Each structure stands twice: as structure tokens, then as C-alpha cells.
Structure 1
Amino acid sequence: MKSIFKILVLFFGISCFSQQLIFENLFDSSLNSEIACYRIPAILTSTNGTLIAAIDERNNSCGDLKWNRNINIVIRKSYDDGKTWSEIEKIIDYPDGESASDPSMILDQQTGHIFLFYNYMNLDLARDIYRLMVIKSSDNGKNWSVPKDITSQITKKDWDKDFMFITSGRGTQTKDGTLLHCLVNLNKGTHVFGSNDNGENWFLFDHPLKPGDESKIVELSNGDWLVNSRVNSNEFRYSHISKNKGKSWFSFENKDLSDPACNASLINYNTNSKSLLLFSNAFSSKERNNLSISKSYDQGISWENTKTIYKGKSAYSSMTLLKNGDIGLFFEKDNYTKNVFVRVPKKWILYN
């Protein structure tokens, strides 16, 4: 009888708590008739705790980079762990016919610099040619450098006309300071790229990861690298692990991570007692809905305790660790009409 009571308390406690989560609508195209939609969220916490939420501002249509002549990158910032937010600020704005899309960020903990990556196309002069770009902030997102084209550093010469892009969301930094991120070549697979000089120069790891589309990378507590990938032909995720800093990889199915072929988010969340990975996605094998967070206690081999954050229509997501240990989750909601931020308390994440 006591066991049944504990189960009921657990069930109703989690159900009630999920209803108490507050969704802050950060980007909503219905508030501006000139904007078709906002898509592709990315979020990061700077060294001083500032939250930076970046996203595509799609003006002519909701179409992706290859089919849209006017996509800009905009941000909002929070200085109080997401309780309040600054006004929308446009940080990448090209003339009509040139578009920027798919923001992602890496924080360099050694320097405090924030790198924001995006993909660029000139639809008038170089249609179907992808350029891979980066800008840098040295003051927690207040100011940004001029764009730098790093395409030649992180791709191969015979990729010129390939469908390729840097994955949106975020990259990572290893314990030795190496910056790591993922890019996708739809013809040749997912690749890892990185920098070992604090972002001055970038290089490609010449080992394609298949199957894989949009992917996320983290360093595991044992020093291995884990890439978790969207796979368009399956109803679940794939993972790839390197035990020698990207020289070779082995791949395996994550059938306990249901996925409708959608971008997701992966971060380390280390407690005093155990190493923990958190993964957010539209946890459904068929439809983009049921935005959830799953946990792994075994270096990403298996996943458990999946908790629903929002049952309705939901798609791309991005997570960040807040100063107080809570998780900040930024995701596409209600058929891409809203892009919301929600604080997920530490006690709920760790509650089994």
C-alpha cells in the first residue's frame, strides 16, 4: 500500500509541477506583420550569467535559407536568469537577396568570448552556394565583431556546391580548451569541426559520421566525445562516440530516444555525486510534439526518466545552464508560431 501511495505522489507531483512551468514568449511573428515567422532557436549563458537567445527572423516567408531572400539573425538578452528580457536586437542584417540562418553559439570559458555561427547565401549572385560564418562578442553579447567567413577552413574544396550547413543550437568546449561544433553535408555526412587556439582559426575533423543530420556534441566525463544525431529515415536518434579526440568513431542506435527527424539539444549537467547528460527534443516517433527532457547516467549509451515539458506541437529546442543550477529551455512552440523560454528547476530535473 505504501508503494502505491509513493507512486501516486510521484505521478501527481510531476504532473502538477509541469502545469506550473511558465512559458515566456520571446519571439512571436503575430506581433509584427512584416515578419513571416521566427525559427531556429539557440540559447547560451555567458560568463557573467547573461542569457543570449538567438533566432532566425524570416521576413518573406517561413522558408529555409535556400528558398528565402530575407532572413536575419536577432537576439534578446536576460540579466536575471530569464525573468525579464531586453528588446529584440538585430545583429545580422544583409540586403534583400542575401540571407543568414541557423544561429548557434559556443562560449569560450578561457577567454569569455562568445562565438555565434550562422549559414549565409547570396540568392542573386551565388544561389545554392553555402558560406559558413562566425561573429564574436567579447562583452557578453553587447557588441559583435564583423562576420568572418570560415568556409574554407572547415570544408573541403569539392564541397563547393554541396548542401551543407553548421548545425543550429550550440557547440561545446572540452576540458583542454578545444572548441567543438558540428556541421552537416547532406551528401557526405555529419562532421565535427573545432579550434584549438580560442577561435582564431578553425579546422575540420576528416571523419564523416553516418547516419546523421543536425547533431550536437559534448565531451563526456571520461574525456570521450559524444555526438548525438538526427536521422531522417528513422524514428529515433543515433549516437557516435570517439575515444581518441575525433580520430575514429563508433556509432549506435538510441532507440530509447524517440525522434520525428528534428533538431534537438544536448548538454552536460554534472552534480556532486554523478555525471549526467540532459537531452531535449520533440519526443515522438512521428510528429513534432511532446517537447521533453531525457537523462543519461551512462555517458549517453541509454536514456531514461523522460519528462514532458509541453505536450503540444513543438520542434527545435536549445538548453543552457542557469546560474542557480536550473535549466533554461528555448523552443519552437505551437506550429512555429511562438518561440518560448521556460525555466526548468534543478529539483525537477534531478527528481527520479
Structure 2
Amino acid sequence: MPQPESQPARIRRRTFGLGVAAVTTAAALESHVGLPAGAATAPATQTFDETTLWDNTVDPMNSYHVHGLAVLPDDTILVATEGRHEVCDAGPRDLVVRRSEDGGDTWEPTQTLVNSVDGQSWGNPTFVVDKTTGGIFLFYMLSIRLPENTTCSGDIGDLYMISSSDGGRTWTAARAMSGLFDHFPYDWALHGPGPGHGIQLDTGRLLLNCSHRRVIIGNTVDQRFYGVASIYSDDHGATWQATAEVPVSVPYPINEARLVQRSDGTVLVNGRAAAGSESLPSAMIAD
């Protein structure tokens, strides 16, 4: 849908480092005596509970794949996933969600947010939460295969969004988000939100990663121009605009990525290789 004109936030390449930090903790055994004041002690044991939210052996769908999770300002937890009618990235898929109001101890029954009608393939559920207003935005994609495509991947991916103002109990009608990426020079046809969730910056800006590529039919891997360009909102989700793209690289094509804001205010984009590259993981810094 048309969006107000605005100067997009620029994303440019900067030098970055990759490293692994190994951390060891000294533990004082009870049998030791004469330890100096302030000596390290054994860390407290941490435990966690495990809950199965969907199980294809008892639940109706063939599989449950690609998950999105959000924690609301009141600590309500929302988890969404694709309910796949068959094991196929572009096959019939519903979008379903479950809620927990007690930190994950108990969960409400599954709620179907978007139904597959006549084989529609809804995917990539990705939350963005506005901590100021409590508004929740769930972005997702309608995947479409061209008739010549015999693979299980879609050629076209249109972006959609629904929202909730009551903690995920009820949701608005779907809003088409087409046109946000038409101005890019790559002829991108598939726009996949996420995976995971978006973030809110210190400024209040809502920011969501989206990955892109050309159609599969008629394009080799190098010709698909896998890339990342996010969307953002500065008016609490009323309107959304595209950022500039992370520089598109044919030798290292990135698609699915995560965003994090660093302490200096910059945003780190950490992307995975889209086509089996043997290169190191890619990271970019955004202004």
C-alpha cells in the first residue's frame, strides 16, 4: 500500500570483527579452607521448564515450522508458528498463535489467525511490539509459486500485517503492505519478514528485518540477488517505510537475518548465507 514519502535510513558497510569469548568461572569447593575474602563461589544452579506447544502426532497439522515469539510489556508471551498442511515451504499453511499470561507456566488453546483457503501458503510470522503503546504487529508473507516452478519454494512473497491492541486476544483484519520495496533496483519479488521478531530502538522506532530475492524461475542463484532491507515505523505502527538495503553481495548472498541495537545506538544486522556459501557469517552495522 502507498506509504508517505520520507528519507530512508541509510545502511552502509563498516568494518566489523568476529570473535569467540571463552569465559571460565572459578568455583570454590566446600572442602577448601582459608579462601580469601571475595573469592569466587560456584554459580547458582539454573533450571528451566519445557512445554510442547504443538505436536504433529496429536495436533491436526502435518508439521509446525518457523516460529515467532514476543514478550509484551506486561510479560504476556505470544508464540506464533506456521501450521503446515504438508511438508513444503510453499505448500498450504495456516498461521496459529498461543498465549501465556503467567510466564509460560500455562498456555491458552491454539488460535488460528490466518487460514489457508484453496491452498494459500501463509508463512514467516514475525512480531514487532511497541513497548510505549503496547501495540502488537504480526507481519507475515503469502508465498506464491509460478506454474513452471516444480520446487517447494515460492517465487513471489507479498507482505501482510495484522495488529492487536489488547495483548493478542483479538486481531485486526489483514493489511496488505505491498509496494514498500518497489523502488529497489533488483526486481525483488519475494519479501519475507523475520524470522523471529523485530525490535524497538531507544528512539521509539519500530524496526523489522525483511529478506528479499527475485523469482526462482528463470534466475540462477547468482541472479536472484538475495538481500536484506528492513522496514520501520516512527508513528507507532501507523505507517511503515523501507530502509536502504544492506549492500547486496553475489559472492555472499544473505537473506534471513536478526537485528540488535548496540549500546552506541547503531544496529547490527547478522545474516545467514542464502545459498550454501562457505563464507563466514555476515554482519553489517546500520546507522
TM-score, with length taken from structure 1: 0.59
Matches within 5 A, 1:5-20: 6=27, 20=47
Structure-2 residue corresponding to 1:95: 117
Q: Structure 1's 159 and 149: CA in aligned 2 closer, same or farther, altered over 3 A?
A: farther
Unaligned runs of 5+ in 2: 1-23, 31-41, 148-153, 214-224
Instruction: State the one-letter code of the partner of 2:262.
Output: L
Deviations 1:243-278 (A, max 9, x none): xx3xxxxxxxxxxxxxxxxxxxxxxxxxxxxxxxxx
Q: Distance in 2 between matches of 1:5 and 1:182?
A: 40
Identical positions, percent: 25
Deviation of 1:4 (Å): 11
Deviations 1:141-164 (A, max 9, x none): 001111111121244376666343
Deviations 1:216-269 (A, max 9, x none): 112211111111111241375221112xx3xxxxxxxxxxxxxxxxxxxxxxxx
| Aligned counterpart in structure 1 of residue 208 of structure 2, from 181, 203, 208 | 181
Q: Structure 1's 159 and 22: CA in aligned 2 closer, same or farther, altered over 3 A?
A: same
| In the alignment, structure 1 residue 207 sits paired with structure 2 residue 234 | no
Q: Distance in 2 between matches of 1:92 and 1:228?
A: 29
Deviation of 1:17 (Å): 5.2
| In the alignment, structure 1 residue 234 sits paired with structure 2 residue 278 | yes
Instruction: State the one-letter code of the partner of 1:237.
Output: P
Structure-1 residue corresponding to 2:233: 195
Structure-2 residue corresponding to 1:64: 89
Matches within 5 A, 1:15-30: 20-30=47-57
Deviations 1:83-123 (A, max 9, x none): 11111110111312212101110101121100101011355
Q: Distance in 1 between matches of 2:184 and 2:281?
A: 30
- Conserved? CA contact 2:188–2:212, under 8 Å: no
Q: Distance in 2 between matches of 1:188 and 1:206?
A: 14
Instruction: State the one-letter code of the partner of 2:131.
Output: Q
Q: Distance in 2 between matches of 1:203 and 1:75?
A: 26
The alignment's C-alpha RMSD in Å is 2.8
TM-score, with length taken from structure 2: 0.72
Q: Equivalent residue of 1:87, what SS?
A: coil
Matches within 5 A, 1:56-135: 56-59=82-85, 61-65=86-90, 68=91, 70-122=92-144, 128-135=155-162
Unaligned runs of 5+ in 1: 246-352
Q: Distance in 2 between matches of 1:189 and 1:124?
A: 21
Matches within 5 A, 1:1-352: 6=27, 20-32=47-59, 34-59=60-85, 61-65=86-90, 68=91, 70-122=92-144, 128-156=155-183, 162-186=189-213, 187-209=225-247, 210=249, 211=252, 212-231=254-273, 232-234=276-278, 236-242=280-286, 245=287
**Structure with max Cα Rg:** 2
Q: Distance in 2 between matches of 1:165 and 1:155?
A: 14
Q: Number of paired residues?
A: 231
- Does 1 or 2 have the higher relative contact order (CA < 8 Å, sep 6+)? 2
- Conserved? CA contact 1:217–1:228, under 8 Å: yes
Deviations 1:306-342 (A, max 9, x none): xxxxxxxxxxxxxxxxxxxxxxxxxxxxxxxxxxxxx
Q: Equivalent residue of 2:245, what SS?
A: coil
Instruction: State the one-letter code of the partner of 1:233.
Output: S
